[in-house]
Amino acid sequence: MTPLLKVESLTKRYGARIGCSDVSFDLWPGEVMGIVGESGSGKSTLLNCMAGHLAPDAGRVMFDTRTEGLQDTITMSEPERRMLGRTDWAFVHQHARDGLRMNVSAGGNVGERLMAVGARHYGEIRDSAEDWLGRVEIDASRIDDRPTAFSGGMQQRLQIARNLVTGPRLVFMDEPTGGLDVSVQARLLDLLRGLVREMGLSAIIVTHDLAVVRLLADRLMVMKDGHVVEKGLTDQVLDDPQHAYTQLLVSSVLQV
Amino acid sequence: MIEIRDVSKTFTLHNQGSAVIRVMEGASLSVAAGECVALTGASGAGKSTLMRMIYGNYLAASGEILIGGVDVVRAQPREIIRLRREALGYVSQFLRVVPRVPTLDVVAEPLLAVGVDRAAATERARDLLTRLRIPERLWSLSPTTFSGGEQQRVNIARGFAHAYPALLLDEPTASLDAANRDTVLDLIHEAKARGAAIVGIFHDAEARAAVCDRVVDVTGFSPQAAA
């Protein structure tokens, strides 16, 4: 078996400052990996380098493409990388408005992604959009409403539908439950867990919420000052942390 | 099935003067298929620590923990994830689930994870919940709102849903009434009969005597005893 994603010595500097330094790991099909660390630890920089939103200074991001196997997505051509972004990859932003077209209807937001990969039959596109709105628990009667008329939690679920409708194999998520009510968070977590299992998705989730990674992620990487200080099984890292910083992080969580 | 050789455990508290606490040394234990072994010892002797190391939840400092040929101490995360999905079950004392997921789905999930179709998985979940006397009207609700005893029984149902070849039980009969305790003991007997290797912690001496073939006192694995 081949890893779905193979990250090798990924490094990004902002002038003299380190964004992320020498990060390497393999992600296997069906695995969910969490990346935690405080603000400024480099977790979003790392995510954006992997997803092709930022150009790293060094390292490789190898992805197991459907036709040619492992390919370095950093050196591949821009059209190839864009195609990957529309088909096999998805990116869920922390703020739904960054991942949605706010002046297009909910159905249009979902359908647009299908058209980008070649779907042309209007009825089928609309059916598919309706099906996905149902999966993320948005009532079909809202299909023609714009996201501006949706609550924050609904916008986030719509963003997930828009991202998953094309059946990606890898989803990058940046604080997907950040800024949501806890009750809405739980609903979203349940949804993501179900989708991961049913679609065999792999995901990389950046968050600072340790409870979220415990429930969603199989594996965990802990970052500090741009470096990965500890990685391993999620529950092992959280329950028996080996690194001083992870011990501090885990012991700093307020108990409910 | 479960083979533990010369395992030790230390905790290093980096933020408290880097204190190193040695909690276990020279732990060795072998559990055959169809056998149930009870861990005993006073509170703090290391029963749960050893159990957590077998599950890969705590990282052993040295030694080997072989489960069906996989060394949990050295295995890659994905190997342990697979082991837990297919071969190694764990009934902890605490139910940890995504809020809002119905009880029936919580119990069926381990079966869905190994590829059992939804109808068969749900059928097995219904059967277990019925045997453990969780009223049917609660099945569509999330167990996070249940009483302690109900949560524990949901946890047990979930732990016994898939026929794991190796099973770890942390106080499976604590806080259960007599009828439910008997059901749990029946489930343990059935698991043994199909060949599961079981390691358990039972404070209830009667329950322990009813299902366990051997008792191992973990006090013998404390660093002082080994020194």
Quote the ipTM score: 0.91
Which positions in chain A touch B56 (Cβ < 8 Å)?
233, 236
Check if the beta carbon of residue A206 is closer than 8 Å to that of residue A221: no
- Tokens standing for residue A114: 């299908």
Residue B34 pLDDT more than 50? Answer: yes
Distance from CA of A33 to the nearest CA of B (A): 11
Digit-coded pLDDT (tens) for B166-194: 999 999 998 899 999 999 999 999 999 99
Q: Structure pTM?
A: 0.90
DSSP H helical segments within A3-103, as ranges?
Answer: 43-50, 78-86, 96-99
What is the percentage of chain A residues whose pLDDT exceeds 70?
Answer: 98
Query: A190, B80: Cβ pair inside 8 Å?
Result: no
Q: Which helix (H) or strand (E) holds A100?
A: none
Place of tokens 């957590």: B52
Chain B: residues touching A (Cβ < 8 Å): 11-15, 52, 56-59, 77-78, 80-81, 96, 98-101, 112-113
pLDDT attached to residue A176: 86
Across A4-12, average pLDDT: 97
pLDDT digits 0-9 by tens, A175-184: 888 777 777 7
Residue A197: list chain B partners with CB under 8 A. 112-113
Query: Is A239's CB within 8 Å of B77's CB?
Result: no
> A106 and A138 in contact (C-beta within 8 Å)?
yes
Confidence of residue A255 (pLDDT cuts 50, 70, 90): low
The predicted structure's pLDDT at residue B225: 53
> For residue B227, what pLDDT is reported?
46
**Residue B123 reports pLDDT greater than 70:** yes
The shortest CB-CB distance from B14 to any of A218, A233, A244 is to: A244
Q: Are B39 and B50 in contact (CB under 8 A)?
A: yes
Which pLDDT score is estimated for A181? 73
In this structure, of A84-98, A171-185, B5-19, B63-77, the range with the lowest mean pLDDT score is: A171-185
- Give the C-alpha distances (Å, rounded to integers) separating B200 from B39, B40, B183, B216: 6, 9, 16, 10
| Residue with token string 């343990």 | B188
Q: Any bridge partners for residue B39, and if so which?
A: B201, B216
pLDDT at A194 > cutoff 90: no
Interface residues of A toward B, Cβ cutoff 8 Å, are 28, 31, 186-187, 189-190, 193, 197, 214-215, 218-219, 232-233, 235-236, 239-240, 242-244, 247-248, 251
